[in-house]
Amino acid sequence: MKLFYRILIICFLTYVISLFIYWILSKGLRKFEVHKTEKFQHLLADSAYHDILFLGSSKIHTSANPLVIDSVCNADSYNAGIEGSNLFESYYMLKGYLQKHRPPEYIFLSLDLFSFDLSYKVFNYTIYLNYIDNKEINKMLAENGHVTFAYKLFPFLILSDLDDYSRGNALKGFAGKTEILPGDFHYKGFLSNTGATITNDTSAFVKPVDTLKIDPKASILLNEIISICKANNIRLFFLYCPEFKSGLQKAYVNSGHVFHFMDSTAKINDLTFLRHDSLSICNDPTMFANMGHLNRYGAQVYSRLLAEEIQKIRGR
Q: Residue 37 and residue 311: Cα distance in Å, rounded?
A: 31
All residues at 6 or more sequence positions from 309 whose CB lies less than 8 Å from its CB, including other chains: 274
**DSSP secondary structure of 158-223:** HHHH--HHHHHHHHHHHTT--SS-TT--EETTEE---S----S--GGG----B-----HHHHHHHH
Name which of 33, 19, 1 is nearest 173 in CA terms. Answer: 33
Q: How confident is the model at residue 164 (pLDDT cuts 50, 70, 90)?
A: confident
Give the pairing type, strands 186-187 and 272-275: unpaired
Please give the helix or strand (H or E) that residue 246 lies within, else none: none
Q: What is the mean pLDDT of residues 292-308?
A: 97
**Highest mean pLDDT of the ranges 90-94, 162-166, 199-203:** 90-94
Question: For the segment 111-144, what is each residue's pLDDT rounded down to a tens digit?
Answer: 999 999 999 889 888 899 999 999 999 999 988 8
**What's residue 240's pLDDT?**
97
Indicate the average pLDDT of the chain: 92
Q: What is the mean pLDDT of residues 293-315?
A: 96
Q: What percent of the chain has pLDDT over 70?
A: 99
**Highest mean pLDDT of the ranges 44-58, 159-173, 191-205:** 44-58
Residue ranges per domain, the chain?
Answer: 2-314
Name which of 247, 243, 309 is nearest 59 in CA terms. Answer: 243
Q: What is the DSSP letter of 71?
A: H
The answer for 45, left when phi > 0, alpha when psi is -120 to 50, beta otherwise, is alpha
Q: Residue 134 and residue 144: Cα distance in Å, rounded?
A: 15
* CATH T-level assignment (fold) for domain 2-314: Rossmann fold (3.40.50)
